[in-house]
Structure 1
């Protein structure tokens, strides 16, 4: 099987692939953030990388090493900054990191770049990094950039299947059924099903208050139940998400 991981290639092979085929380069983006007692801190980068690798295999792409630190965890979608292990960047630093990496890929000759985000809080800072990099490079640089969250490819049908009692929304899907099922599929050795908590879903008001009200966050850090997670659901989710992403990059970069 053709290698898709950039860090496992020599520079000679990488250059040959870029020059010969103009492949899509996938850049996974994640965070180092608590995901309850049953999942590891690196879930967001692990899952965005796994999805990117499968999409790259289907499209002849290359997967760069993930941006593994993300924007600050927020109580209503990540539990918050008060959990040990959660290690975050200021928004400007994340934007500048994305900006630098994008400019470097353009220097390599990359013309198709896909940022695959796995951390809810990253969105606007990645967009800023993309905007700044393209401003630096100029509109005639030839680089096109796609940005998406991998869960955006979950269809309504699959959400009903994995959450038959009602989907709580992606913000509360932190360390819950989707992430836990995908981890059981891609990285089962890193999941501790015996430690999945029985906490009720978090109940937040429709606003943010500062300093954050950390007492509203379940002590486990899990924002809605992961009890329904299974490896079979993870396999189904992975197929839907990875095929959707592969189709999206084909349409975006090589329209009919």
Structure 2
């Protein structure tokens, strides 16, 4: 079997591939979260997994672990909020413990280098804590490991943003379910996007604070924080090519 997805390997081939600790494990982490009526619930899982697989294929010395699909609670000002049906989230503690356990399980197999590829903004600091704890735990056991944590959107340059948004970019804070994610999904999973159901909404505007319980009136009823109407598969290709190339070059 010739696959960069370690779950598709038999256990003996996997054992032989990782036993010397020189193979890097890429761990995609996302969320099941509404992305408007035009798109499936899983872009935050499918996008980092796709990017991880393409990076691994270029490397030749990386394997992609099955993604962690459930992420931290969707926040109103970044993901529309946790009150939309289908948005299925876990606590920060649960995500931290899950990622921590998964990393240490792979350490027990002999793996020593990891790249956590995040696809859901709200996950970030809980993954930081999981990585930090895993490194310290391994060190106390006499094992040195390295964990890199990245979010794929940080590898998108201003030049590409200007190309994707020639009329001006409203900012990352309102891109949930907007042009960027929709364009990428049109490129990699067009069967999970229905552009006829796009709701054309203006970029969301939020007050400079959060409130609990969250106020649903802060978010458009579509769940998106900006309009995906101008998304295209071509734009998705531009974004992906840059992300994959820059991540590959950074960790080659």
Tell me whether the two structures share a fold, i.e. TM-score over 0.5: yes
Number of positions where the alignment pairs a residue of Structure 1 with one of Structure 2: 250
Supply the distance in 2 between the matched residues of 1:151 and 1:43 (Cα, whole angstroms).
13
Partner SS, residue 239 of structure 1: helix
Could you tell me which residue of structure 2 aligns to residue 53 of structure 1? 53
Could you tell me which residue of structure 1 aligns to residue 9 of structure 2? 9
Could you say if the C-alpha distance between residues 21 and 97 of structure 1 is closer, same or farther in structure 2, counting changes exceeding 3 Å?
closer
- Asked whether the 8 Å contact 2:113–2:147 carries over to 1, the reply is yes
TM-score scaled by length of structure 1:
0.94
Could you tell me which residue of structure 1 aligns to residue 169 of structure 2? 167
Could you tell me which residue of structure 1 aligns to residue 215 of structure 2? 213
- Asked whether the 8 Å contact 1:32–1:86 carries over to 2, the reply is yes
Partner SS, residue 19 of structure 2: helix
- Asked whether the 8 Å contact 1:55–1:242 carries over to 2, the reply is yes
Counting only pairs closer than 5 Å after superposition, residues 1-256 of structure 1 correspond to structure 2 as 2-19=2-19, 22-60=22-60, 61-138=62-139, 140-250=142-252
Supply the distance in 2 between the matched residues of 1:207 and 1:248 (Cα, whole angstroms).
36
Q: CA RMSD of the aligned region, Å?
A: 1.3
- Asked whether the 8 Å contact 2:21–2:113 carries over to 1, the reply is no
Cα offset, 1:133, TM superposition? 1.3
Partner SS, residue 138 of structure 1: helix
Cα offset, 1:19, TM superposition? 3.0
- Asked whether the 8 Å contact 1:120–1:171 carries over to 2, the reply is no
Cα offset, 1:171, TM superposition? 2.1
Deviations 1:176-227 (A, max 9, x none): 1110010011111111111111111111111111211210101000101111
Supply the distance in 2 between the matched residues of 1:19 and 1:82 (Cα, whole angstroms).
44
TM-score scaled by length of structure 2:
0.96
Supply the distance in 2 between the matched residues of 1:137 and 1:112 (Cα, whole angstroms).
12
- Asked whether the 8 Å contact 2:20–2:110 carries over to 1, the reply is no
Supply the distance in 2 between the matched residues of 1:142 and 1:182 (Cα, whole angstroms).
36
Supply the distance in 2 between the matched residues of 1:42 and 1:145 (Cα, whole angstroms).
25
Partner SS, residue 106 of structure 1: helix
Supply the distance in 2 between the matched residues of 1:184 and 1:19 (Cα, whole angstroms).
38
Q: Which runs of 5+ in 1 are unaligned?
A: 251-256
Q: Which runs of 5+ in 2 are unaligned?
A: none
Deviations 1:86-133 (A, max 9, x none): 111110111000110110111111111000000010000000111111
